[in-house]
Amino acid sequence: MEPLIALLVAWPVLRLIGYFGVRRLAHWQTSLRGAIAVMFTMTAIVHFVAKRDELIAMVPPGLPAPELLVTVTGVLEFAGAIGLLIPRFARSAAICLTVLLLVMFPANVYAAQAGLEMALLPRTILQLIFLAATIAASWKTSSAAGEPTAPKASRGVPG
């Protein structure tokens, strides 16, 4: 639930910062990407600290090297969070994080069925919210970097 709280708090805070003058955060998509970066930074940290054992326990039994898988997914979450903050890579990072959420979902299903995590229905709803956020962050828009688009040149006869 903490990642959802991080997402839902960071996004409006970043939008307000954009509203009050930080042009980079003025666009909804850029502030959303920042909020997702906050969320994934938070979840990535968990891969390397106290709750690491809980994440290792979530890896379905058929998969090899659970410790390594948890480490790799943590590194990928950090990389995705950083990528979201670099305009050149933001869209690709959002797409990659969407794929990562889809690939990791079976571990959440296993954890829910094994009683290691929240029940499956709430966890599925949570995952859908995260997927909606990363998909929205990956949309291609004309001013996703939060910068105004240049006016188009007039094609009329000068005059």
Q: Which amino acid is at 71?
A: T
* Spatial distance between the Cα atoms of 15 and 40, rounded to a whole number of angstroms: 18
Residue 17 lies in a domain: yes
Domain that includes residue 74, residue range: 2-138
Residue 117 lies in a domain: yes
Residue 131 lies in a domain: yes
In the chain, how long is the greatest CA-to-CA distance?
Answer: 75
- Model confidence pLDDT, tens digit, residues 45-84: 999 998 999 999 999 999 999 999 999 999 999 999 999 9
Domain count, the chain: 1
Residue 111 lies in a domain: yes
Residue 65 lies in a domain: yes
* Spatial distance between the Cα atoms of 133 and 39, rounded to a whole number of angstroms: 11
Q: Which residue has the higher pLDDT, 155 or 138?
A: 138
Residue 106 lies in a domain: yes
Q: Which two tokens stand for residue 120?
A: 């499956």
**Predicted TM-score of the model (pTM):** 0.85
Residue 144 lies in a domain: no
- Give the DSSP per-residue string, 125-159: HHHHHHHHHHHHHHS--TTTTSSPPPPPPP-S---
- Model confidence pLDDT, tens digit, residues 107-146: 999 999 998 888 999 999 999 999 999 999 999 865 544 4
